[in-house]
Structure 1
Amino acid sequence: MSESFKAFVLTKADGKFNAGVQQLTFDDLPAGDVTVRVQYSSINYKDGLACLPESPVVMSYPMVPGIDLAGTVAESNDPRFKVGQEVIAIGRELGIAHYGGYAEYTRLPGAWIEPLPAGLTLKQAMMLGTAGFTAGLSIQRLEENGLKPGDGRVLVTGATGGVGSTAVNMLAGLGYEVSASTGKTSEHDYLRELGATEILDRDEVSAASEAPLEGERWAGAIDPVGGDTLGYLLRTTRYQGSVANCGLTGGPALSTTVLPFILRGVNLLGIDSVQCPEDVRAGVWKRLGTDLKPSGLSDSIANEITLEEIPATAGSILAGAVRGRTLVSL
Structure 2
Amino acid sequence: MNTMRAAVCARAGGPEVLEIRELPIPAVRDGWSLVRVEGAGLNRSELRTRQGHSPDVVFPRVLGIECVGTVAASTDPRIPEGTTVAAVMGEMGRAFDGGYAEYALLPNPLLMPVTTTLAWDVLAALPETYLTAQGALDALGIGPGSAGRLLIRGGTSSVGLAAAAIATAHGLDVAATTRRPGKAAALTGHVLIDDGGPLTGLPRLWPEGPDWVLDLVGARTAVDSLRLVRRGGTVCVAGSLSGWIVPDFEPIAKIPSGTKLTAFHSNDRRGSTHLLRRIIGEVEAGTYHPHVDRVFRLGDIAAAHRYMEEDRAAGKLVVVP
Please give the range of the TM-score, normalised by the shorter of the 2 chains.
0.7 to 0.9
Matched, 1:22 2:15: no
Please give the per-residue CA displacement for 1:124-177, whole angstroms capped at 9, x wherever unaligned.
331123123211211222236x895432x2111111112112222222232211
- State the SS of the aligned residue for 2:20: strand
Q: What letter is aligned with 2:158?
A: G
Counterpart contact for 1:137–1:284, Cα < 8 Å:
no
Counterpart contact for 1:242–1:267, Cα < 8 Å:
yes
Q: Distance in 2 between matches of 1:295 and 1:231?
A: 31
1:210-229 equivalence runs, <5 A = 216-229=208-221
Aligned to 1:250: 242
Aligned to 1:44: 43
Matched, 1:199 2:192: yes
Matched, 1:314 2:305: yes
Answer with 43-52 or 247-256: which moved more. Answer: 247-256
Q: What letter is aligned with 1:37?
A: R
Aligned to 2:81: 83
TM-score (structure 1 length as normaliser): 0.82
Aligned to 1:156: 152
- CA separation of 1:157/1:309 partners in 2, compared to 1, >3 Å: closer, same or farther? same
| Unaligned residue ranges in structure 2 (runs of 5+) | 201-206
- State the SS of the aligned residue for 1:106: strand
Counterpart contact for 1:38–1:101, Cα < 8 Å:
yes
TM-score (structure 2 length as normaliser): 0.84
Counterpart contact for 1:221–1:242, Cα < 8 Å:
yes
Which of the residues 269, 294, 303 maps onto 1:303?
294
Percent of aligned pairs sharing the same letter: 25
- CA separation of 1:240/1:283 partners in 2, compared to 1, >3 Å: closer, same or farther? farther
Counterpart contact for 2:180–2:193, Cα < 8 Å:
no
Counterpart contact for 1:243–1:269, Cα < 8 Å:
yes
- State the SS of the aligned residue for 1:179: strand
Aligned to 1:95: 93
- State the SS of the aligned residue for 2:211: strand
- CA separation of 1:50/1:159 partners in 2, compared to 1, >3 Å: closer, same or farther? same
Q: Distance in 1 between matches of 2:64 and 2:254?
A: 37
Counterpart contact for 1:155–1:178, Cα < 8 Å:
yes
- CA separation of 1:136/1:302 partners in 2, compared to 1, >3 Å: closer, same or farther? farther
| Unaligned residue ranges in structure 1 (runs of 5+) | 208-214
Q: Distance in 2 between matches of 1:32 and 1:106?
A: 14
- Matched residues, number: 308
